[in-house]
Amino acid sequence: MSDLTRIPAPDGVAPAAQYTHVVAATGRLVAVSGQLPLDEDGKLVGEGDPAAQARQVFENLRRCLAAAGATFEDVVKLTYFVTDMAHLPAVRAARAAHIPDDRLPAASAVQVAALVGPQFLMEIEALAVVAG
């Protein structure tokens, strides 16, 4: 694991509710491309179901991180692209299964008009920093 410093509420900045404002890290950067709710065969998981899609996306993120020798503990930034902000509770629930509240990374949530296909409700990318 890398050396991480989390600053949830810098002086003069409103407290963060579901993320950490600043995460400083020293180590090797791992960038994980936006992950979609596809299983290992490339089939959609959870058509029309934000919770099922979020769970699959976080499983894909976990697998990608592991391939680079990283875990969710090493994640310093998540970016959520959702087609509807109403999907964020499902994303947060899936995230909570992998990242405890006291280790929340920096995060951004962006509502987009569309993703690469109309069946996708979300895409999530990650940045992690690992030792070495």
Bridge partners, 52 (sequence order): none
pLDDT digits 0-9 by tens, 94-111 = 999 999 999 999 999 999
pTM: 0.92
Q: What 3-state class would DSSP assign to 86? A: helix
Domain ranges of the chain: 3-130
Could you report the per-residue pLDDT of 41-91, keeping only the tens digit for each?
A: 999 999 999 999 999 999 999 999 999 999 999 999 999 999 999 999 999
Kindly state the tokens that stand for 8.
């949830």
CATH second-level architecture of 3-130? 2-Layer Sandwich (3.30)
